[in-house]
Amino acid sequence: MSQASATISDKFSETCEIVEEEMTSQIRQNFHHDCEAAINRQINLELYASYVYLSMAYYFERDDKCLPNFAKFFHNQSKEEVVHAEKLMTFQNKRGGKIFLQDIRKPDRDEWGSGVEALECALQLEKNVNQSLLDLQKMATEHNDPHMCDFIETHFLDEQVKSIKQLADWTSNLRRMGAPQSGMAEYLFDKHTMAEEGS
């Protein structure tokens, strides 16, 4: 190797070391790598939930379904899940973690059946998201990270419980009204209960 090549190689190595040093967070403190990885997985789950709700929203906008307030509700849910993902990304940056976005899985289905069936799918989705958040909080507790515990409790857990309760109430009421066999039940539910939710 010539003297010039050796000098260029040395300078490149020095530059790489400087870049590596610059990439190390100055603010990271008491933020375990397991928690960082779990936050990235939660971001993916929130974006997946948004994707599912978006699929539901456009399904109920179809002319053969025509439940506009169901569609509006699911649109709003989709946007809310994106907001959750963004909160987690902001948290990751505040703690000195790195965001690694992953592929978002497609929804398990493209046809959502009746309104009550879609609400039951949404209920299960919210319970899955809630369980993942509970696991995240447990991990933060095990790694003695009170800031992360507080963040999860403040911004997510109460909201999840309310969503689960609302979806369970709605599915119970729709079943009591005769859905999915009674199309009139879903029409009236869309026109009144869901319309009030969107107002």
Look up the CATH number of the domain holding residue 136: 1.20.1260.10
Instruction: Give the total number of structural domains in the chain.
Output: 1
Give a yes or no: residue 16 inside a domain. Answer: no
Give a yes or no: residue 129 inside a domain. Answer: yes
pLDDT grade, residue 197 (50/70/90)?
A: confident
Give a yes or no: residue 25 inside a domain. Answer: no
Residue 191 is classified by DSSP as I
Mean pLDDT of 130-141: 97
Give a yes or no: residue 172 inside a domain. Answer: yes
Mean pLDDT of 3-14: 60
> Is 17 within any annotated ligand binding site?
no
Give a yes or no: residue 9 inside a domain. Answer: no
* Residue 75 vs residues 57, 167, 195: alpha-carbon distances, Å: 5, 15, 13
pLDDT value at position 25? 80
Q: What is the pTM of this model?
A: 0.85
> Is 192 within any annotated ligand binding site?
no
What is the distance between the alpha carbons of residues 65 and 70, in angstroms, rounded to a whole number?
10
Residue ranges making up the domain that contains 117: 31-198
What is the distance between the alpha carbons of residues 80 and 78, in angstroms, rounded to a whole number?
5
> Is 181 within any annotated ligand binding site?
no
> Is 80 within any annotated ligand binding site?
no
Give a yes or no: residue 95 inside a domain. Answer: yes
Give a yes or no: residue 26 inside a domain. Answer: no
pLDDT for residue 181 is more than 90: no
> Is 36 within any annotated ligand binding site?
no
Give a yes or no: residue 77 inside a domain. Answer: yes
Of the candidates 186, 64, 63, 184, the one whose C-alpha atom is nearest the C-alpha of residue 119 is 186
pLDDT value at position 19? 47
